[in-house]
Structure 1
């Protein structure tokens, strides 16, 4: 349960279970009575999850879930990772993962990926796997509305479990791909890791078993060494099969038994050892630098001396609530420090949780320092921990923390019947690997509501004494240069313990309302309904329009967007260059006289956000809320239009953090290449700003940016407001009248202005040199301008999809020269421009060969078009994606607003499936010949010449 709770506390999506059946919610008071005196009782597992163990030891987990429709998520979990490798196998747990995609009993060589692409499952995006220290997990989403596809899905899972061929030929062929993945990980972080891991993982095998392994072993191991790893660890008693989706559980269970209830051939299994790290009395300090390090990081670890054993009792769950409240409050304080006029770090946070080592927990405080100012960041973290130790938290903080946690669990609970299947799987994986409980969301919701009110502040305050310790302590500092010594770090830790200047936390009073008086209500002049697509348009008395579509896709979600033509395109070049960066930091000042910290406190218990923006052609806002927070969403919209604070100190705080974040990014060869290649393409464009630098922020004009914002949002009559989601229509109309119709407006209507500049087109080739690692990057851009039409637009999408398929096949599988080629394409109706982009990382020695292969595939597309088979793969991917998109709020928000912005008829949406079905090989070839024969702009990154 711990991982479920910790994810909730940090506002990350909870992966927990729900049932599609109607469930009677237990009264909170009755739950409290039942929970009383059950400290030793076990947390009940979700009853809708069917579990079992086959005769050979394989465990399985099954759950029926209807979101998305006609789809099932399959997982094969192997309780074996790099930690189990012998000395001559380093990297082979991960290599084994690769080999399961390169030849099994029923899917020879590349047939597996080929088949899945033919049913719309994309390699990398959908079909995937990962290897960590302790486990390997295979990920397979399969359409479930076709019996043959479902059967093939389970056959694939069975082959992964039992039927890898592991031929010498395929093993040797895959070396190149794995070595390219190894190459992508080279750089500053890996070099620094080698130096700090021995201290973070004291006397631990984990420090010597990074999943990617060792280059010399990957290059030279004998195939039998890999087969030995497979024989030892890919066995039934170390495996679990998980199936969650839109299929009845009886069918899923029958499939699992048919495919996995096989005899266990390993009669004398090797012992699956559990590894750890050693305790240490002294404080270890690791100060590691690298000139290519992008960020300066500070991390404090206070490792619990006892290896954690799984505690699935009610008492254990109560302890986790205490830890959650602690994390909520300490991170709120660190967030306030971040928003101070002179923040000590770019960001900072603390939590008690897992480390690299399975079962080893630590209290961890982490921050990104500004520039190389490690001392300020470290001091702030240590001081805040010490402040809690001396004075504890305050009652007001405590109440806010409980309110926040209850709001987040309620949001998840409200959407309990509509969670996507892939979000429900992690608790099952944790249950198999570590024995963690997997309660239903209903139980967790009721547990929070019954237990949180009973927790005492003193209980939470007492945790800090468990967390902070002088033994088992590690301090890790990483960055581009060393600006502090080990002695200075230890002296600082000791000094803070006796520092008499540390005072209790001073809380500020939270106001009860965003408004001292409500705005003067406007009216709705007209309502028009689009029955076919289920949205309505309100014309308000100030000229603004509100377009809304009520949906039931998610019970806890309302999405919002507002837009108006203009953006920075209407600014002079001088204004744009002075204000561009400053425009991004205006919202740091807060609204309605509330600074950011006070606004965050006011928002406690509310799940709602609004973010203003000014882009090239648009000014507007986007945001979201829960249904119950709908009025707050409207209030924030109103105040962001009318009462954005002007606060130079808050802006300066934002700038200092941005400088700290961006300061050394260009030392990274990849970022340098992106920036340098962009400058090359946009040479001569006087509005090109490139990668933001600290010097550019120094020149930014806050006052001018604020004036521009005021002007852009002074006329609500020039805006259209969009709302999509689960809301009460009458309430939405009421709030639209009160908070949007009351906004100031004029009769002026603006448009955007295209300055006509277009980056270089034709044949260009530029090589850049940066970095010492033997790794290169290639970026190939086919671009130009043409009048948009839907047929070419769809054909360009298909070209991108098909080229992605072909380059995985040619560059990865056949040439073994890349790990993950990337292809993107689009045809923009906004400025009638098209673009197809191919990019990949590779060895410097392979740049020209792989570039030539890519160009040859483009030429084939022009001269011959795609094969019918590859075109059908793209079509299946499009249709499968559209089927899921039609049930998502974001799809409708984006498409309704886009149709208005481009002044298109939204009814074109209904033609999409027919257009996909009717797309031919000749159509794609025609578009390729039309767009991909006008030259290619190539940028290449090579290591620096010695």
Structure 2
């Protein structure tokens, strides 16, 4: 069972709004600043205003359109072009509900210069993927279009501004295209909604948003409007609100700023504001006195959770005063988060998931929100515990040691950003400028922020932080929401009882005690080993060391990031070597022991000891291998090496962590069968892995038989022999500089030369025709997966043909199922091929739709497959794949994360890593004939699986 996956899913379902004014402090602590900032930059301006980053050019055309332009070379030869509109669903009339979002769709379905689907076709031919690169979103207050373009193609680059201008003022709204798009938008609503969380939100949002206009203007709109509106109605929305005085163009990338300013003026100056333009009303959510309580249930909701939301007016960071306050809020969130993390490290955690944070909400609001997922039947304890923690902070504040750690964490975040200032991705700047345009958030730039943090964070005092806690945590303008499974409806407390819990939970709390240790992570370095051989691959600039204990290290120094070293080490074996009886214990070993601390440090002590460090180290055990993943700043590289050494040699067996995780998993399993998606995924896992229990969610019976001693023993055994490990390191270092650390910490790891490998447990589909229908769920919502699989000859030539087949199928099924049939929103194709544990390939085609359209779309999918088998791909579609793949490869070759994964994979599969240098050239192997042959070989109807999730009202059918 994958604990991390379970808890991430649980967390995702709780999110009701996103985005804080400034990025919240991450859990990784920090060091002090090594570079002393300029004194002038550190001093607050006397007039309380924040400066504007001098590297961004901000201008405004006579028609009112605003533009932001910045030269940035990360990534090289690329630019991010955004059109930002202060027009969202909040501006819709009753007859237009959903048309702000529908307008966004129509911008891709016909403009003055790009009729019908010409825009998407043109961009795909230029190497820009629809959905992955080219995209847009609609929210309550804004609609934003994103267009990444190459700058090494002058024609495509200049066309990008023409495309943005077409979106801004020249969408045509062809009635035929509108009618075709109705089905697509309704299917998007079916895909993203039509679930328990959406149904519950429909009931809770009116309370959370005080029955304001925000509560009645969800961006997806109303089905009746989407089905029945006419062209003049949507054109009226577009004419009223898509106007230059409410629009901004944001351009960041590897280009000449003055040239871009000229392109913006040339393409956008002709846009005109409407005569008698409407007032752009700024809607808000009115505050309400006291506390409102809302209890809701749903048949398919698997958890019982509570949210306590204290709403405050939105605070825009646009002055020195508000900036310092945002710094305090970051510190507050960090310290409170650390306390809640400690609760989850107890042998009997009081809840499955808990988080308290102050962040942005909706409707010009910020909020202090606590979210807690209760164990089955234990809502009272969960609510009282999380409220008690917030009350502890409100009553007694924080400790000086907590505050100092939080400051270190904040400093490392700003230090890392400063160190990467010339390697920052363009999209990071785009987000800042977008916020500046939409809400007036300041953009002082990282040079100012770095200096300001360094000079002023020490001035933030404990009394200030304690006063902030008392201000944020109140009982006014508060909403308490409880969401639960319908089956537990009769067991839920009344509104009065819940309010009593919340009001009385913190009455007996005492001050927090911060248990810290001053011991070093390691008293002294180990004896160490030596590099016994060194090989240099000049083609891809790598160096390979072999240490005297047999461990191999592949090094690729880069300058792609200034403050990053990525580390991965692995060897074969994994849980495939565990017996069936011991598998569940073995499968729990790495996620639990890896979060139990090391040596004499429990996890809480380890987190506190690492304050002042920018690093993360985590052991893992997969089905075929075991290893360590890590990343670190160059200044903290030795500490990362120490942790790797300790995870090998001194893993910690923590009974509290073990028992707490077992208890939480048992609670999660108790309700897993309620969610249709989980039930369907369990079926998929069974069918695609030959019904091997190892690939499926564990059962309570198997969980009852697990043993910490067995898990610990298995972990120790998997990391007992370093001789079979290969480590890859990619990032900002030189081999000679880090060689002593590699010899000291990796060279001293134990070596037994057992030469173990994995076992092939044949966890893949059985051949033949299989249809499996799962009937679960109350909505008219079907999910389909069509799977082809079989044996495979893993090599570069075959791999590239399957890559092409995947993208060509994606193109054809989007055209057919989405655009032509208008019966699904996001059909997709994934093709996986592996060499280990056995040469296999899997083609998975997936989509969601109405139950009535399942057979039609399966037939249409198979029809497109037949066309590929008969005539091969269209040359135009091959051209799209080649352009996209070439451009993405060029970008990936300048990314640490790509090289880290690629070198590790090449080593594991025993491939020549130099092959990547010929990848773009090898795209010439994709031809009409090769796509036909590939389709016939790998889309084999003799090995075909249909997996279908249908609502419960239809009787299940199963044939083999």
TM bracket (short chain)? over 0.9
Asked if the contact 1:538/1:545 (under 8 Å) is kept, the reply is yes
Equivalent residue in structure 1 for 2:577, among 570, 575, 578: 570
Q: Is the 8 A contact 2:869 2:932 kept in 1?
A: yes
The Cα shift of 1:528 comes to: 1.9
Pick one of 814, 819, 822 that aligns with 2:825. Answer: 819
Q: Deviations over 1:30-74 (max 9, x none)?
A: 544x32xx4642111111110111111111100011111111101
1:252–1:272: structure 2 CA closer, same or farther, 3 Å change rule? same
CA contact (8 A) 1:369 1:660 kept: no
2:460 alignment partner in structure 1: 455
Residue of 540, 544, 547 corresponding to 2:551: 544
Partner of 1:655: 662
Match of 1:776 in 2: 782
- Is 1:190 aligned to residue 198 of structure 2? yes
Q: 1:388 to 1:367 in 2, by over 3 A?
A: same
Q: In 2, are the aligned partners of 1:784 and 1:835 still within 8 Å (CA)? A: yes
Residue in structure 2 matched with residue 230 of structure 1 by the alignment: 238
Match of 2:499 in 1: 490
Q: Is the CA contact (8 Å cut-off) linking 1:718 and 1:749 kept in structure 2?
A: yes
Match of 2:920 among 891, 913, 917: 913
Question: d(CA) in 1 for partners of 2:691 and 2:781?
Answer: 30
Determine the structure 2 residue equivalent to 1:702.
Answer: 708
In 2, Cα distance between the equivalents of 1:443 and 1:181?
42
Q: 2:560 and 2:240 mapped to 1: Cα distance?
A: 46
- Contact 2:689/2:695 (8 A) holds in 1: no
- Indicate which of 373, 379, 395 corresponds to 1:390: 395
User: Partner residue of 2:470?
Assistant: 465
Instruction: After TM superposition, give the deviation of residue 793 of structure 1 in Å.
Output: 1.4
Structure 1 stretch 68-77 or stretch 270-279: which is displaced more? 270-279
User: Does the alignment pair 1:423 with 2:419?
Assistant: no
Among 720, 725, 748, the residue aligned to 1:719: 725
Segments of structure 1 that go 5 or more residues without pairing to the other structure are: 14-23
Looking at structure 2, the residues matched to 806 and 728 of structure 1 have their Cα atoms a distance apart, in angstroms, of 47
Q: How much does 1:580 deviate?
A: 2.4
Aligned position for 1:400: 405
Displacement of 1:631 = 0.4
| 1:854-933 → structure 2 map (5 Å cutoff) | 854-933=861-940
C-alpha displacement of 1:112:
1.0
The answer to whether the 8 A contact 1:198-1:207 is kept is yes
Pick closer, same or farther for the CA change 1:344–1:40 going to 2, 3 Å: farther
Identify if the C-alpha distance between structure 1 residues 46 and 683 changes in structure 2 by more than 3 Å, giving closer, same or farther.
same
Structure 1 segment 350-749 matched on structure 2, within 5 A? 350-357=356-363, 359-480=364-485, 481-482=488-489, 483-497=492-506, 499-500=507-508, 502-661=509-668, 663-683=670-690, 685=692, 687-749=693-755
Greater CA drift, 147-156 or 476-485: 476-485
* Structure 2, unpaired ranges of 5+: 1-17, 955-960
- In 1, the alpha carbon distance for the partners of 2:36 and 2:439 equals 29
**Aligned mates of 1:748, 1:844 — CA distance in 2:** 55
Shift of 1:472: 0.6
How many residues matched?
926
Q: Check the 8 A contact 1:151/1:255 in 2, yes or no.
A: yes
Structure 1 residue aligned with 2:15: none
SS of the residue 1:890 aligns to: helix
The answer to whether the Cα contact below 8 Å between 1:129 and 1:136 also exists between their aligned partners in 2 is yes
Contact 2:50-2:320 within 8 A present in 1 as well:
yes
- Partner-residue secondary structure (3-state), 1:723: strand
CA contact (8 A) 2:569 2:726 kept: yes
Offset at 1:29? 4.6
C-alpha displacement at 1:663, in angstroms?
Answer: 4.3
Query: In structure 1, how many angstroms separate the alpha carbons of the residues matched to 2:21 and 2:404?
Result: 18
Contact 1:25 1:442 in 2 (8 A): no
Q: What is the Cα deviation at residue 933 of structure 1?
A: 2.5
Structure 2 counterpart of 1:267, from 269, 275, 286: 275
* Equivalent in 159, 164, 174 of residue 167 of structure 1: 174
Task: Calculate the aligned-residue CA RMSD, in Å.
Answer: 2.0
Moved more, 668-677 or 245-254: 668-677
Residue of 297, 300, 318 corresponding to 1:292? 300
Work out the CA distance in 2 between the residues paired with 1:695 and 1:104. 60
* Pair 604,39 (structure 1): closer, same or farther in 2 beyond 3 Å: farther
Report if aligned partners of 2:169, 2:271 keep a CA contact under 8 Å in 1.
no
Q: C-alpha distance in 2, partners of 1:672/1:783?
A: 22
**Counterparts of 1:375 and 1:659 in 2: how far apart (Å)?**
19
CA distance in 1, matches of 2:517, 2:734: 29
124, 132, 141: which one aligns with 1:125: 132
**Correspondences of 1:85-104 after superposition (within 5 Å):** 85-104=92-111
Shift of 1:839: 0.3
CA separation in 2, counterparts of 1:249 and 1:346? 51
Cα drift, residue 569 of structure 1? 2.0
* Cα distance change of structure 1 residues 891 and 783 upon mapping to structure 2, 3 Å threshold: same
Give SS of 1:417's match: coil
* CA–CA distance in structure 1, aligned partners of residues 116 and 106 of structure 2: 9
2:23 matches 1:7: yes
Q: What is the TM-score with the length of structure 2 in the denominator?
A: 0.94
Shift of 1:26: 7.1
Inter-partner Cα distance in structure 1 for 2:553 and 2:695: 35
Q: Would you say the 8 A contact 1:302–1:364 is kept in 2?
A: yes
| Other-structure match for 1:337 | 343
Per-residue CA shift, 1:100-122, capped at 9, x if unaligned?
A: 01111111111111111111111
Shift of 1:200: 0.6
1:850 to 848, 854, 857: 857
Q: Take 2:114 and 2:28, find their aligned partners in 1: how far apart are those partners?
A: 37
Displacement of 1:882 in angstroms is 0.5
Q: CA deviation at 1:560?
A: 0.4
Contact in 2 for aligned 1:31/1:450 (Cα 8 Å)? no
CA distance in 1, matches of 2:218, 2:238: 18
Task: Give the structure 2 partner of residue 21 of structure 1.
Answer: none
Structure-1 residue corresponding to 2:7: none
Q: Is the 8 A contact 2:99 2:226 kept in 1?
A: yes
| 1:770-821 deviation per Cα after TM superposition (whole angstroms, max 9, x unaligned) | 1110110110001111323322211111101000011110000111010000
8 Å contact from structure 2 (residues 41, 448) kept in 1: no
Inter-CA distance 241–684: structure 2 relative to 1 (3 Å threshold) = closer
User: Structure 1 residues 848, 240: CA separation in 2 closer, same or farther (over 3 Å shift)?
Assistant: same
Q: Do the aligned partners of 1:302 and 1:469 also contact (CA within 8 Å) in 2?
A: yes
Judge conservation of contact 1:581–1:697 (CA < 8 Å) in 2: no
- Which has the higher mean CA deviation after the structures are superposed, 565-574 or 546-555? 565-574
Match of 1:137 among 135, 141, 144: 144
Partner of 2:958: none
SS in 1 for 2:145: strand
What SS does the aligned partner of 1:862 have? helix
Q: Is the 8 A contact 1:129 1:139 kept in 2?
A: yes
- Deviation of 1:25 after TM superposition, in Å, equals 8.0
Give the distance between the partners of 1:236 and 1:661, measured in 2 at CA. Answer: 51
SS in 2 for 1:664: helix
Query: Residue by residue, what CA displacement relative to the aligned partner does 1:354-402 show, whole Å, maximum 9, x if unpaired?
Result: 2121x21222222232335322222122111211222111111111111
Partners of 2:529 and 2:589 lie apart in 1 by 33
Q: 2:263 aligns with which of 255, 275, 281?
A: 255
- Tell me, yes or no, if the aligned pair for 2:583 and 2:694 is still in contact at 8 Å: no
* Kept after mapping to 1: 8 A contact 2:21/2:317: no
Any conservation in 1 of the 2:573–2:623 contact (CA below 8 Å)?
A: yes
CA distance change for structure 1 residues 85 and 836 in 2, over 3 Å: closer, same or farther?
Answer: same
